[in-house]
């Protein structure tokens, strides 16, 4: 598929494929456009081309915004550039489904990416495009997972990097960023403060590729690969329902875009899934807007343990509300206690340990099932975006151990007292 231009999502103004992210006419966001007719071969040919591709996101290179991203040798080259993001497990979760009274639940476990979150998908695409455009430095504003990914990809590519984070970020995510030798900048403020500063810096340092600022249109496209993988792993079928987290709203929208692209090209069977968004109650401008029947997402000051979702002024919030409405979905919010319960529920029923964002998503799945907002007889895919080792404090004190002397009698006594099932 040939990438052709950037276009404003609001007024439709078109732009060249440069490092630009906002419309100069109406200040709307820009996104990548493609020439679908340039994609060669029948649907069966295209599916075969995907299936023999590398075991990472570059098997979908036909659908990604790279000037050199045509079928053939470039895909093999790209598969060796940076880190091998994507091709993460889709796990059938029958015990989770049974507990919630649902027929078919799947967990898309994106914690299996190189830096243990879905951000490796978007950074892989942004970094590849940044190299095409001649940038010499990678940078980002981050709530944690993106910081890990940008620092790691920059090291793998031999590029310097600057990573900007709120000063109150979880220790595990700070350590998992600094270890790569990045220039780590802590900002006394929340993510929205960090993002504003990075927007200003990107205008002054023209050789820096801020993956989620001036490279945002290309970066966002990487999230489509989640949809492609889910469809491929289901036998080139769409699931009936998706539950995914919402921070900026970009991931939520690009998953839907990925399904829509493949449906329009005849590559998969089924219908566009109902899109259900998940937010933390302590930072839920999109869920609030949805509940109020408006697309106006009023900015909030985040106050939640789910720091990776703590974006109080979500850029794609209005589009997320529109998408949920148009697909028969929803946007819900869950409390910090429900988030902790969601982490434990997923771990207990599937053996998957997720970070707080995954706790939000799992808790939202449980809430939707409890409130009969899902079709219980149809498939649902829960998108888990990060590893539980990133947010250990969230589950501290959530369980008890059996403490005994090295004595068989004490062990038997403890077991007989019913300490543990």
The reply to whether 90-116+223-395 and 119-220 are identical in fold is yes
Q: Looking at residues 276-280, what average pLDDT do you find?
A: 98
Query: Measured between alpha carbons, how far is residue 359 from residues 34, 305, 320, 353 in Å?
Result: 35, 10, 20, 9
Q: What is the mean pLDDT of residues 167-176?
A: 92
pLDDT at 316 over 70: yes
Tokens for 53, please give them. Answer: 């591709």
Q: State residue 301 phi and psi, 5-degree precision.
A: -95, 115
Bridge partners of residue 370, in order along the sequence: none
HSE (side-chain half, CA atoms, 13 Å) at 248: 19
Q: Are 275 and 252 in contact (CB under 8 A)?
A: yes
Q: How far apart are CA 211 and CA 138, in angstroms?
A: 7
Domain boundaries, the chain: 39-80, 90-116+223-395, 119-220
Write down the CATH number for the domain with range 90-116+223-395.
3.40.50.1100
Model pLDDT, residue 71 = 41
The chain-wide mean pLDDT, for the chain, equals 94
- CA atoms of 140 and 220, how far apart (whole Å): 13
State the fold for domain 119-220: Rossmann fold (3.40.50)
Is residue 260's pLDDT more than 90?
yes
The tens digit of pLDDT for each residue in 30-82 reads 999 999 888 889 999 999 999 999 999 999 999 999 875 444 445 555 655 68
Query: In the predicted model, is pLDDT for residue 409 greater than 70?
Result: yes
Confidence (pLDDT) at 76? 53
380 forms bridges with which residues in the sheet? 105, 241
Residue 295, SS3 per DSSP: coil
* pLDDT attached to residue 78: 60
pLDDT per residue over 19-30, tens digit each?
999 999 999 999
3-state helix, strand and coil shares in percent for the chain, rounded to the nearest 5: 45, 20, 40
């Amino acid at each position: 598929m040939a990438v052709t231009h950037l276009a404003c999502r609001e007024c439709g103004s078109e732009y060249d494929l440069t490092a630009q992210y906002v419309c100069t006419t109406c200040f709307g966001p820009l996104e990548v456009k493609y020439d679908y007719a340039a994609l060669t071969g029948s649907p069966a040919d295209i599916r075969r081309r995907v299936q023999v591709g590398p075991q990472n996101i570059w098997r979908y290179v036909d659908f990604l915004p790279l000037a050199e991203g045509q079928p053939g040798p470039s895909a093999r080259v790209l598969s060796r550039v940076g880190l091998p993001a994507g091709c993460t497990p889709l796990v059938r979760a029958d015990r989770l489904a049974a507990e919630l009274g649902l027929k078919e639940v799947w967990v898309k476990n994106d914690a299996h990416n190189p830096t243990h979150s879905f951000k490796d998908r978007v950074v892989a695409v942004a970094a590849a495009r940044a190299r095409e455009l001649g940038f010499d430095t990678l940078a980002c504003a981050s709530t944690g997972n993106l910081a890990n990914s940008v620092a790691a990809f920059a090291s793998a590519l031999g590029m310097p990097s600057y990573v900007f984070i709120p000063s109150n970020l979880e220790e595990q995510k700070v350590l998992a960023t600094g270890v790569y030798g990045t220039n780590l900048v802590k900002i006394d403020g929340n993510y929205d403060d960090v993002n504003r500063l990075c927007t200003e810096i990107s205008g002054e340092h023209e050789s820096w590729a801020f993956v989620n600022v001036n490279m945002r249109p290309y970066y966002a496209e990487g999230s489509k690969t989640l949809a492609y993988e889910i469809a491929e792993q289901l036998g080139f079928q769409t699931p009936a329902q998706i539950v995914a987290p919402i921070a900026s709203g970009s991931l939520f929208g690009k998953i839907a875009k990925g399904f829509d692209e493949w449906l329009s090209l005849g590559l998969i069977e089924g219908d566009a899934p109902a899109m259900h968004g998940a937010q933390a109650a302590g930072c839920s401008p999109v869920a609030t807007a949805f509940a109020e029947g408006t697309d106006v997402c009023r900015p909030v000051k985040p106050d939640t343990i789910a720091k990776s979702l703590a974006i109080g002024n979500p850029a794609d919030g209005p589009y997320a509300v529109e998408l949920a409405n148009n697909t028969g979905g929803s946007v819900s919010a869950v409390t910090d206690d429900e988030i902790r319960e969601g982490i434990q529920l997923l771990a207990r029923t599937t053996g998957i340990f997720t970070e707080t964002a995954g706790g939000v998503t799992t808790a939202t799945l449980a809430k939707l099932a409890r409130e009969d907002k899902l079709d219980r007889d149809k498939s649902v895919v829960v998108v888990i975006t990060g590893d539980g080792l990133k947010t250990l404090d969230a589950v501290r004190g959530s369980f008890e151990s059996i403490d005994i002397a090295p004595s068989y009698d004490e062990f038997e006594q403890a077991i007989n007292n019913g300490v543990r099932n």
